[in-house]
């Protein structure tokens, strides 16, 4: 049984090898000339200011979560759309139920004000 996993093992080994060799080669052969400007977080000319650890508004998270939530649904809808004809009525009804649940969720989120940026 393990025999069928040998190609997998080889790919993993190969990937490791390539990554390791690139890093090693770059360290060994690349030129190394550090300077103050290069040590800055951004090399855009103006000096950086303020703390690195900044608080973001929690609204960003909510938007990100909602985006992922509704975006992921495409994964389910897309294959269904491609196979629409062969799947028939049952799958159609099921997808409608699925979308109805999504809509309910959207309505809830909307009503709760999660989509509003300004209070």
Contact call for residue 83 and other proteins (CB under 8 A): yes
Task: Please report, for residues 33, 61, 66, 110, the alpha-carbon distance to residue 116 in angstroms, rounded to integers and kept in the order given.
Answer: 50, 13, 12, 8
- Candidates 9-17, 41-49, 58-66, 103-111: pick the segment binding other proteins (CB under 8 A): 103-111
Residue 30 phi/psi, 5° resolution? -70, 150
Among 58, 90, 116, 119, binds other proteins (CB under 8 A): 90
Q: Nearest to residue 81, comparing CAs of 62, 102, 95?
A: 95
Contact between residue 21 and residue 15 where contact means Cβ atoms under 8 Å apart: no
Contact call for residue 108 and other proteins (CB under 8 A): yes
In whole angstroms, how close is the CB of 97 to other proteins at the nearest point? Answer: 9
Q: Which residues bind to other proteins, rule: CB under 8 A? A: 1, 79, 83, 86-88, 90-91, 101, 104-105, 107-108, 111-112
């Amino acid at each position: 049984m393990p025999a069928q996993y040998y190609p997998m093992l080889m790919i993993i080994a190969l990937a490791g090898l390539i990554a390791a060799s690139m890093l090693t080669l770059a360290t060994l052969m690349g030129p190394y000339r550090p300077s103050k400007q290069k040590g800055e977080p951004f090399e855009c000319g103006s000096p950086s200011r303020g703390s690195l650890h900044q608080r973001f508004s929690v609204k960003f998270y909510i938007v990100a979560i909602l985006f992922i939530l509704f975006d992921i649904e495409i994964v389910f809808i897309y294959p269904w759309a491609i196979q629409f004809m062969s799947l028939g009525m049952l799958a159609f009804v099921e997808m409608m139920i699925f979308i109805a649940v999504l809509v309910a969720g959207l309505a809830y989120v909307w009503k709760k004000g999660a989509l509003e940026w300004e209070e």
